[in-house]
Structure 1
Amino acid sequence: MVGTPRTLQNPFAPRTGPVRGSAVVSDTFRAAQARSDEIEQQMADDPASLRMLTGDRPTGALHIGHYFGSIRNRLRLQDSGAEIWQLIADYQVITDRDVAGDIAGNVRNLLLDNIAAGLDPEKATIFTHSSVPALNQLMLPFLSLVSVAELQRNPTVKDEAKSAGITSIGGLLLTYPVHQAADILFCKANVVPVGRDQLPHLEQTRVVARRFNDRYAPVFPEPGALLSEAPLILGTDGTKMSKSKGNVVELRMTADETAKKLKGAKTDSDRVITYDPEQRPEVANLLTLIALCEGVEPAAVAEEIGDGGGGALKGRLTEAINAELAPLRARRTELEADPGYLQDVLRRGNERANEVAEATLDEVRAAMGMVYL
C-alpha cells in the first residue's frame, strides 16, 4: 500500500537502502515477521480470508526493485485466491514534488506493467486515488487519531524528504502515513506486501485502526505485512535504487538495454566471486538478483561463478533477468496495442472502489454518530 520523484515507487514496496535500527524497530520487525509468517500460513489454509492492498505512485517506470520487492508477492497472493486491490496513487505524486509531470502517461505505464506482470483485472480491483473521493475523506477522522510528533518521528517520511531534497516538509508529505492508512483501511485490507523499511508506515496504519476501533466501534482490521523475500535491492551503482540516479533496470527495457545497464553494475576488485553481504554488498546484491530469478541460493551461484570475476557475474545476471522478464515484456507489447482495454480496466476498478469506499465511509460516520437523516 501507498509505494515515488526518484522513480515510480511502490508506496508499499521496499525502499532500497539501510534501515535505521533501534531496539524498538527491531521489536517491531520481529512482530511483523511473526505476522508475515502467519499470513503465509493463511495463504495456504484460508486464502479467501485475505484482502490485499498495495499501490504504486505514477512518477515513472516500474523497475526490478518493484518486481522482486512487491509484484511477485502480489501475484502469489492473487494465485492463492486472496482478494486483490491495486492502487495507483496519483494524489501522492505531489507529496514531495512541485510538478506532477506526465501523470497520465505514468498511470498508463503502471497499468501496462502490472497487468503484463500477471495482475488479472478479472480478479483484482485496479483504481486511482483521485477517482475515489470517499477514500480521501477518511483522512479527516484518521488525522484526529495521530499526533504531529508521531508523524515527525516516522523514519520513512524523513527518508522521503531527504531523497527528494526537501528541507521543509509540507503538510501532505507529513501526513503521508495517514493517507496510506486511508488507502489500506477503506477496503478493510488485512495484508500489505512490503519490505522491512516500509514497516513504520504500516505500523502507523495499525495504530490508526486500533485507535478508531477503541474510540468509536470495531470497524477496521489491523493489517499485517507480507514481507518481501528481497527486502533490500541496490541500484546498479550500489546505492539506493532510484530512477533519478539512472541506476535501475526498468521492466519495460529491451534485452539489449538491460544488458547495457547491467554491464555497468558496480562490483569490486576481487576476481573470486563470494556471497558476503556485509563485506561485498554490491556483489551480494547481484548474486541475490540471480538467485531470485533462478530459484537458487546466492551462495551456490557464487560457487558456480568462482573466479570468473565481475564479467561472468554480470553476464549470468543479464541472462537471468532477461529470461525472467521476457514473458512480461511480450505481454506488455500486446497490451500497448489495445489502449481501450486499459481504459476499461481502470473504469471498472474505479467504479468498484467507489462503491466500497462510500460504504466504508457510511460505516465510519455511523460509528462516530454523524448520521443525521
Structure 2
Amino acid sequence: MSTVNTAAAAAAAPATGPAPVIDVDPARHRSAELERQILRAPERFRVMTGDRPTGPLHLGHYFGTLHNRVRLQDLGVDVFVIIADYQVLTDRDVADRLTEHMEAMVLDYLAVGIDPERSTIFHHSAVPALNQLMLPFLSLVSVAELNRNPTVKDEIAHSRQSSVSGLMFTYPVHQAADILFCKGNLVPVGRDQLPHLEVTRTVARRFNERYGEVFPEPDALLSAAPLLLGTDGTKMSKSRGNSIPLAATADETARLIRSATTDADRCITYDPEARPGVSSLVLLAALCLDRDPHAVAEEIGDGGAAALKRTVTEAVNDRMAPVRARRAELARDMRYVRAVLRAGNVRANEAAEATLEEVRKAMHGVV
C-alpha cells in the first residue's frame, strides 16, 4: 500500500531498543519466487493496496503502483484497492475536499485500466468491520515495538502537525487491519515499507498463536519501480505541488515539464547519482517510450535541456493520451463512477464482516 507522507520529530516518544533491521535481499528473492507463483496460479493470491485521497494521482503513482495493479489484475490476481480516507487524518487536522478527491481517484483508477469486474475499489470509512479489527490487533503489539518502527519514525520526523496523534503512531496496526480484513496475502511495497508489513505479519502470527488460525501472514511483493522526481528535483508528491497529475491536459503537462529542474551541462546523460534532475526526466521519457534511459539520453545528446524537455513532453503526452480520453469519457457519467465505489464497498463489507465473525468465534465473542 502507499505510505502516508507524514511526521513531527519533537513529539515522537523516545525509542526503546534498536530499530528492527529488515534484510532486503531475502525479501527480493522471495518476491522473485512470488512472481513465478503468480504466473503459475494467480487465483491463490489476493493483493491489498491503495492510496490516501489527499490530492490528484500523478505520473509517479502511475509508473510506481497503478501500472503494477493493472498487471496483477490482468494476470488473474484478486486485487483490493483501498481509498484510505481515514488515514488522511494521520497528518492533517481535517480531511479537506475528501469526496472530490475520492471520486477523482476512482476516475484515475478506472482510466488506467483497473476493472471493477475483476478488482474491488472501496473506501476505508465505508467498512466499519475493518476498523473494528484495530482493537484486538492493538493488543498484539507493544508501544516499544511501534516506537522502533523506522517508517513511523520517519513519518513523525516529517509531519505537518505540531504533535503526533494516536492515529499516526498506530498507523502500522491500522494498515494491518486494512490488509488482513480481506485476508490479503500479497502486498506490493517499496523497500521502505517492509517494516510496516512486518508489523502486519507479526499481528497475524500472534493472533493465530493466541486464538487459532484465522489470518495469512502476507508476503511483500517488492516494487521494481524506479523513483521519479518532481519538477523541483525532490520526490514527486501530491503534497509538495511538484507532480504531473494524471488528469493534467497536454498543455498543462508541457508547462509543468518546462519548469522542471535540470542543470547547466548541455550534453544529456543518464546518471541518477550525479545528475538527478536531468536523469529523472530522461527516465520519465524512457518509461513512457518503453526504452532504455541510456539510449534516450544518447539520442538527445547535445540538444540540452530544451531538447530533453521536448522529448519528455511528447513521450508523456503520447503515453497518457488514451488514459486522458478514457478519464474524460468516464467523467461525463459520474453516476457510474459512484456506482463502482458503492459496489466495491458492498464487497469489502462482505469480506470484513466474514472475517470479523471468524475473529469473534476465535476470541469467544470478545469483539
Q: TM-score, normalised by structure 1?
A: 0.90
Which ranges of structure 2 fall in alignment gaps of 5 or more residues? 7-17
> Is 2:325 aligned against 1:330?
yes
1:348 to 340, 343, 366: 343
The structural deviation recorded for 1:161 is 3.1
> Is 2:289 aligned against 1:294?
yes
- Aligned twin of 2:239: 244
The structural deviation recorded for 1:124 is 1.0
The structural deviation recorded for 1:229 is 2.6
Question: Aligned equivalents of 2:134 and 2:285: distance in 1?
Answer: 41
> Is 2:119 aligned against 1:124?
yes
The structural deviation recorded for 1:166 is 2.8
Show CA shifts across 1:340-365 (max 9, x none): 11121111111111111011011112
Partner secondary structure for residue 152 of structure 2: helix
2:152 to 152, 157, 171: 157
1:253 to 225, 248, 253: 248
Which ranges of structure 1 fall in alignment gaps of 5 or more residues? 7-21
> Is 2:142 aligned against 1:138?
no
The structural deviation recorded for 1:368 is 2.1
Q: Is the 8 A contact 2:24 2:191 kept in 1?
A: yes
Map 1:197-212 → 2, pairs under 5 A: 197-212=192-207
The structural deviation recorded for 1:214 is 2.1
Structure 2 counterpart of 1:75, one-letter code: V
1:94 to 89, 93, 96: 89
The structural deviation recorded for 1:369 is 2.5
The structural deviation recorded for 1:224 is 1.9
Structure 2 counterpart of 1:275, one-letter code: Y
Structure 2 counterpart of 1:178, one-letter code: V
Question: Aligned equivalents of 2:179 and 2:39: distance in 1?
Answer: 23
The structural deviation recorded for 1:313 is 1.5
Question: Aligned equivalents of 1:177 and 1:185: distance in 2?
Answer: 12
Question: Aligned equivalents of 1:201 and 1:231: distance in 2?
Answer: 20
> Is 2:299 aligned against 1:304?
yes
- Aligned twin of 2:11: none
- Aligned twin of 1:19: none
Show CA shifts across 1:41-100 (max 9, x none): 122111111111111111111011111110011001001000011111111111110011
Q: Is the 8 A contact 1:5 1:97 kept in 2?
A: no
Map 1:353-368 → 2, pairs under 5 A: 353-368=348-363
Q: Is the 8 A contact 1:180 1:205 kept in 2?
A: yes
Question: Aligned equivalents of 1:357 and 1:273: distance in 2?
Answer: 52
The structural deviation recorded for 1:31 is 2.3
2:31 to 36, 40, 47: 36
> Is 2:107 aligned against 1:112?
yes
Question: Aligned equivalents of 1:282 and 1:153: distance in 2?
Answer: 33
> Is 2:172 aligned against 1:180?
no
- Aligned twin of 1:18: none
Q: Is the 8 A contact 2:230 2:243 kept in 1?
A: yes
Partner secondary structure for residue 365 of structure 1: helix
The structural deviation recorded for 1:163 is 3.3
Show CA shifts across 1:88-129 (max 9, x none): 111111111001101011111011010111000111111111
Q: Is the 8 A contact 1:126 1:350 kept in 2?
A: yes
Q: Is the 8 A contact 2:267 2:301 kept in 1?
A: yes
What percentage of aligned pairs have identical amino acids?
63
Partner secondary structure for residue 370 of structure 1: coil
Question: Aligned equivalents of 2:207 and 2:353: distance in 1?
Answer: 18
